[in-house]
Amino acid sequence: MTDSILFEKIKEVTQLQGLAGFEGPVRDHLRSKISPLVDRVETDGLGGIFGIREAAEPNAPRIMVAGHMDEVGFMISQIKPDGTFRVVELGGWNPLVVSSQAFTLQLQDGRQIPAISGSLPPHLSRGSNTSGLPAIADIIFDAGFATYDEAWAFGVRPGDILVPKNETILTANGKNVISKAWDNRFGVLMVTELLESLVGQPLPNQLIAGANVQEEVGLRGAHASTTKFNPDIFLAVDCSPAGDIFGEQGKVGGGTLLRFYDPSHILLKNMKDFLLTTAEEAGVTFQYYCAKGGTDAGAAHLKNQGIPSTTIGVCARYIHSHQTLYSMDDFLEAQAFLQAIVKKLDRSTVDLIKQY
């Protein structure tokens, strides 16, 4: 795959709009992409969508590969008398990156209108103590309405959502991309590329590949999907924060991640041995990663008497904001790693991973 083709695929998925609980456009995209590549497509009760490739071998293990469709954004909690809005966050936000940004306000009837987050001009802050961080609930969102009644008459309601608006662009060196929502349209693209690569190739397992909903608000969708499909192995595909420019782990351009710990999940020894062996055999570039946030693996590994899980991912700078920067080469390394893993997970390998 050339860099230009990969960039166009990245642009397509990152410019989709889909917050937690409102993943419809991303789900429609996934359904159209995966339906020709699998035996059937199923959804869970919360809206997660997965393509299933049936196994040819008896007693084949069930392998689940799951991205998540949702990105971070905001939901209107109040319409003020002056026509501005206050919000609740859908996913984690640093208040420092919220002000003076463009958003798409999605109304209940499907219309989309422009909106911005407000900021305090320096002219109005002179002589006052404004050094503290604002609370998300206090940040002003503005779509240009003059009054509550005007906003209401136009169709704005509490519960409507504000999606970050940004253009996906290539950096000058041609290696990196700047966009919104790589967390976790990375996982969406990983799933479609995986299924495309496996067309016509036999697998030693039943493959269940797709994406969950509502990861950004507490790993909710993974509870539903893993209960429904009951996999033997769960592979989350997700994007993590890069700490390279802050003196922390996670280097953009450093390859895929061997994510051995996060606050919700510890990588099992047998799974770690399998991943290291697979990466070495496949010649995959990877970096060790100790995470400070969770992925759907944190929820999945606790379901159905315990499911060995891991996260196959990349890191990106400035995630959970409008402007995320990440490497296309890292995506290719993660995709090669995922393909190698899925092809090796036969019954004996899965039994070895689950042996204690």
The catalytic site residues sit at: 215
Pairwise CA distance, residues 57 & 102, whole Å: 51
Q: Is 162 left (phi over 0), alpha (psi -120 to 50) or beta?
A: beta
Beta-carbon contacts of 8 under 8 Å, excluding residues fewer than 6 positions away, are none
Angle at 192 between CA 325 and CA 337, to 5 degrees: 70
- If DSSP states are collapsed to H, E and C, what string results for 275-293? HHHHHHHHCCCEEEEECCC
DSSP 67-127: EE--B-EEEEEEE-TTS-EEEEEES---GGGTSS-EEEEEPTTS-EEEEEE----HHHHTT
Helices (H), the chain: 3-14, 24-34, 122-125, 148-154, 182-197, 220-229, 269-282, 297-300, 328-344, 347-353
**Angle, vertex CA 90, rays to CA 86 and CA 91, nearest 5:** 130
Provide the CB-side half-sphere exposure for 53 (13 A, CA): 26
